[in-house]
Amino acid sequence: MARSGTGGSKAATLNDVARMAGVSLATASKAINGRDQVAPATRQRVIEAAEQLSFTPNSLARSLIAGRTGTVGLLTSDLEGRFVIPILMGAEDAFGAGQINVFLCDARGDTIREQHHLKALLNRRVDGIIVVGRQTDPRPSLGQGLPVPVVYAYAPSDDPSDVSVTPDNVAGGRLAVEHLLSTGRRRIAHITGDPEYAAAQDRTIGVRAALAEAGLDLVGDVMMSSWSEHWGRAAAGMLLDQHPDVDGIVAGSDQIARGVIDTLRDLGKRVPEDVAVIGYDNWEVLALNSRPELTSIDANLQQLGRTAAMRIFDAIDDGEPDPGVHHLPVRLVIRGSTIERR
């Protein structure tokens, strides 16, 4: 009786199928793989035998011959970070469509473990590797000598001869300000997260640039501290204290935006009538449950994952790397925190 787990007899091999169908190994192979040098009747017999034995071709053997495994490694530094998940999804999706399977490796921010995983991936002869970082700050390159193409996603490599894809945070900052301007705001402030993050710096650059182009200045200084709701609340309090006439706030993250909105309500300011607030990340759990719902910048991370996958595809086939850091477009998602409901 075939118990589930370690079920009795081993998996059927092509040899078994051939014998059962009364043909040679080679013929069975051709029949199964749809080669056209085989009589219809024979093919039919082989296929039936295969079904009978519930034959499954052994990918290992195939890969050994082909020199390609149809697998790629997804090397992440931190699965916990919520930015890597959509990227993973996008990549897995793109590869899945191309009959490629994905090895998931989480280095947990540890270089040793990363090296260890890298080695394992190479032993397994993956056809390519995507390295997904948790921040947009550049990270150390895995090096140039690797036998397979590598693409860095989200966190670009610090070596310009590597291929990297990362969201365009400067454009995101611009987009946020341009949107606020388009709703008639003129006294705009910027509250954002940890200044150690490139994301904070880049978005700020975009914010400043867009304001400058409109001939405006930021209201107060950029307020930078942490990516939390707590900071959003505190900063908004200080801001309104010093500049009660502010009419638009660009928050560096949706969490900060939530905090900002909380404080504004506490202070009796209406959003968006008195002050418009725009977040960043379009993290739906936060954005959709906010009162009012949060306008935000979406970094298209799933798309970014797909793009990384495509670049690996190309590198595997053509071998045309196109090195450098590629900044991918971001997207404005408009909700009630910047535009009044009618």
Partner DNA sequence: CTGTTAGCGCCTTCAA
Partner DNA sequence: TTGAAGGCGCTAACAG
Interface ranges with a second copy (CB under 8 A): 2-7, 10-11, 54, 56-61, 63-64, 67, 69, 71, 74, 79-80, 85, 88-89, 92-93, 96, 99, 101-106, 108, 113, 117, 119-125, 144-150, 161-162, 228-230, 255, 258-259, 285, 289, 315-316, 319, 321, 323
> Should residue 35 be labelled a site residue for DNA when binding is judged by CB under 7 A?
yes
Nearest approach, Cβ of 19 to DNA (angstroms)? 11
Applying CB under 7 A, the span of 38-46, 175-183, 185-193, 315-323 interacting with DNA comes to 38-46
Which of DNA, a second copy, none does residue 242 bind to, with CB < 5 to 8 Å depending on kind?
none
> Should residue 25 be labelled a site residue for DNA when binding is judged by CB under 7 A?
yes
Which of a second copy, DNA, none does residue 289 bind to, with CB < 5 to 8 Å depending on kind?
a second copy
Q: Which of residues 58-77 bind DNA (CB under 7 A)?
A: 58, 61-62, 64-65, 67
121/210 with CB nearer DNA? 121
Q: Which one of 19, 42, 159, 198 is in contact with DNA (CB under 7 A)?
A: 42
> Should residue 30 be labelled a site residue for DNA when binding is judged by CB under 7 A?
yes
Number of other CB atoms surrounding residue 159 within 10 Å: 16
47/198 with CB nearer DNA? 47
Please work out the total of residues on this chain that contact DNA, with binding judged by CB under 7 A.
Answer: 31
- Which residues sit at the interface with DNA, rule CB under 7 A? 10, 13-15, 22-27, 29-30, 32-33, 35, 37-43, 55-58, 61-62, 64-65, 67
